[in-house]
Amino acid sequence: MSDKKTILSFVQPSGDPTLGNYLGAFRNWRELAGEYNCIYAIADLHTLTVRQNPADLRKNSRQMLALLLALGLDDNGRNIIFAQSHVPAHAELAWVLNCYTYIGELNRMTQFKDKSSKHQSNINAGLLTYPCLMAADILLYNADLVPVGEDQRQHLELTRDIAERFNHVYGDVFTVPAAYIGKVGARIMGLQEPARKMSKSESANANNVIYLNDDLNQIANKIKRAVTDSDNTVKASDDKPGITNLLNIYCAVTGKAMKTAEEEFAGLGYGAFKNAVAEAVVEDLRPIKAKYNEILNDKSYIEETIKNGAERASHTAYRTLGKVYKKLGFLPRT
C-alpha cells in the first residue's frame, strides 16, 4: 500500500446487478483507483441474515467477482478484491465489537426495523448485529473513507462510535472512518415504474429492470419500451418521470449535461430519443460485457484472483486483529 488514503467498498452478491447499481455506484468506483488505495469485497457473510440457496450464492459471488474485474476495479493488481468469508478475521473482530456495542444502539438501526418487518419468520440475531460485522469490515483495513448510501449512513456512524469507544479505552487502535462524499451517482428509476428506483425487489415486471446479465438486444428493447408521456417533448421535469429517468441514464453513460441532452433532442420526439438512449447504453456496456463473459469462463483466473485477494487482505486484517488482541490481553498466537 502507498501513502494514499484507503477507501473500502463492500457489495453483497444477492442477485443480478442492475443498470442502477452500475450507474449509481460501480462506474464511479472505477474512477477512484488513481487517487486512493481501494479495497473491494464480496460481502458474502452479510447475505446470511436472509436464507440463501447455496448454489445460487456461489454463482452470484462468482458473477459479482467477474463483474468487478471486468470493470477494471483491480487496476492491474494495485487494488485488493476478495471474498469476505475467505478472511476469518472479519468474524473474529465482529465478536469483539459485539462486546463494545450496546443493545440500544443496535435496536435503533432503521435497517434492522425494516428487515425485521420484511422477514418476520426469520428475525435472527445476525439481523441485529449486522452493523458490528460491518464495523469489523471497515476497521480491519484502517479505512479512511467509506462510500455509503443513505441506507448505510447510520451504520457508518455506529462504526465511528464503536471505534472511538474502543480507542478511548485502549489507545489509538482503530482509524476512525469518514463517509466518502464524491461524485453523485445517477439515481436510476424503473423503466415501467419511474416513480420507484430500479430494483428487482421493487417490481415483478421484467421490463422494469435492466440487468447487467441481459444481452444487448434485451437491454435496447427494454429501453425502447420504457414508459413516457403524451406530449413528445424531451425535457426533464417532475411531471415527466419517465423521460427524466431516460435523460438521467443518457447523461450518465455519455457524460453530457442535462441541458445539453435536452437541446440535442429538441423537436426529435420520443422514438429518436429512446433509440439514442438504447444505443448509448449498449455501447457503454458492450466492452464490459465482453470482458465479463471472458473472465467468467476462465475458472482458473477467478480462483487465482480470489486466492491472491484473500492473502493480501489477510495480511492487513490480521495485523489489525493482532493489535486488538494484544490490547485485550489475549495470549499471543504462536
User: Dihedrals φ, ψ of 147, to 5°?
Assistant: -70, 125
Residues 199 and 18: their CA atoms lie apart, in Å, by 7
CA angle 330, 333, 334 (to 5 degrees): 150
**All cell numbers assigned to 26:** 460501480
Pairing label, strands 6-11, 80-83: unpaired
Buried b (16+ CB within 10 A) or exposed e, 261-283: bbeebeeeebeebbebbbebbbe
Residues 178 and 332: their CA atoms lie apart, in Å, by 31
Annotated active-site residue 323? The verdict is no
**All cell numbers assigned to 170:** 485502549
Annotated active-site residue 200? The verdict is yes
CA angle 83, 28, 307 (to 5 degrees): 20
Question: 109: closest CA among 164, 154, 50?
Answer: 154
CA distances from 111 to 108, 119, 177, 195 (A): 9, 12, 20, 22
Beta strands, E only, 219-271: none
Q: 115, 222, 240, 289: which one is catalytic? A: 115
Annotated active-site residue 183? The verdict is no
Return the SS3 of 233. coil
Q: 5, 200, 256, 323: which one is catalytic? A: 200
Question: 131: closest CA among 156, 161, 103, 150?
Answer: 156
Structure letter (DSSP) for residue 22: I
Q: 5, 59, 197, 323: which one is catalytic? A: 197
Place of cell 462524499: 181
Residues 6+ apart with CB under 8 A from 30: 71, 72, 73
Catalytic positions, written as ranges: 115, 197, 200
